[in-house]
Amino acid sequence: MESRKIQVNYDKEDITFDMNILLKCEILSTSKIIKIPKEKMKELEKKISERVKNDISQAIETSQKEYGCDYLYFYKYFRAKYNSDFKKMNGMKSIKRLELIFRLRLKFQLEI
């Protein structure tokens, strides 16, 4: 992960975490020298981005619903912006709805 920015919004019942994530991907070796056209590279970036977004969303949802934990420490972002509200809560458990918005950008390179 090259960089990430997380914005938090809260309206007394709902919390929204708006995330911009930049991932850097590299193909380090291949069995032969290949040239990938730009349009094919864009298509590959799109497919990888969708797959990563789905994997992240599913992992977060599983951790919240099945295990009741916040292993990515979203509470730290919430507490930093809404500290007085956070102190009044029973952790993040009193939130009725938690929404995660991802904007994933992929930086893809072919290294041979």
Both tokens of residue 71?
């292993």
Both tokens of residue 73?
């420490």
Neighbours of 21 (CB within 10 A): 19
Q: pLDDT tens for residues 4-24? A: 688 888 887 788 888 887 777
Q: What mean pLDDT do residues 91-96 have?
A: 62
Higher pLDDT, 22 or 84: 84
Predicted TM-score (pTM) of this structure: 0.63
Domain segments of the chain as ranges = 3-110
Q: pLDDT tens for residues 23-77? A: 777 776 667 777 778 888 888 888 888 888 888 888 888 887 787 777 778 888 8
Please provide the CATH number assigned to the domain covering 3-110: 3.30.300.210
Q: What mean pLDDT do residues 96-106 have?
A: 71
Higher pLDDT, 97 or 23: 23
Q: What ranges make up the beta strands (E) of the chain?
A: 3-10, 14-27, 97-110
